[in-house]
Amino acid sequence: MSTYKNFTVETDADGIALVTWDMPDKSMNVFTMEVMDEIEAIVDATVADAAVKGVVFTSGKSSFSGGADLTMIKSMFSMLAEEQARDPATAAQKLFDAAGRMSWLWRKVETNGKPWVSAINGTCMGGAFELSLACHGRVAANSKSVKIALPEVKVGIFPGAGGTQRVPRLANAQDALQMMTTGSSLTAQRAKAMGLVHQVVEPAELINAAKQMIKDGLKPVAPWDEKGFKV
């Protein structure tokens, strides 16, 4: 499998690929265009590799991820200004494509045909939690360092990569609305009680538990993609 700058991928004897996100020279993992390029390449590579039966996605840092790098969002509008000066006819489409990329990429994870499990070892915010929601299984460490949230509203934006759609399909409407409109953080246990996380395990057992979900026959289909699903 390919070499990546921000990830390592190790496939074990059971055919489970452990994808570990560990950005060099950063104290916390954040989404950048390069990171999303690499995640898309990992999805394509694991789908194409018949030896891979499933994927566990985790972090090599003490936190999972703080979400998107706000400078990336700012750069989209700089790109819009440049494109409007160069080619006004396509500028809006290019901004639309850039802004929607995370949503489409998470949907690609969700529909890739092989089970993905997010192993949440620490702070998991914004787009990182939205990626976890697109995974077919979610396991969180029983640790005070685990804080799960969609905090975008605190910086004047709304969750834009599927959180507004997946959270209300997993949790009740009142809890979902409170989570999205206040940006408040959930503990691992609270996230499990809301139905957003499947298991909470001791930190040392996190990866083993995530792999076990795949070994136990985790379906690579989201509940809302099952025939007959109703909110």
Q: Is this structure's pTM higher than 0.85?
A: yes
Query: How far is it, in rounded angstroms, from Cα 104 to Cα 97?
Result: 9
Task: For the chain, list the strands marked E by DSSP.
Answer: 7-11, 16-21, 54-59, 116-120, 124-125, 137-141, 148-149, 199-201
Give the domains, in start order, of the chain with CATH numbers: 7-69+109-225 (3.90.226.10)
Measuring CA to CA, which residue among 105, 28, 33 is closest to residue 76? 33
pLDDT digits (tens, 9 = 90+) for 180-223: 899 999 999 999 999 999 999 999 999 999 999 999 999 999 99
Token pair 């691992």: residue: 188
pLDDT digits (tens, 9 = 90+) for 36-74: 999 999 999 999 999 999 999 999 999 999 887 767 767
Task: Say if CB 67 and CB 125 are below 8 A apart.
Answer: yes
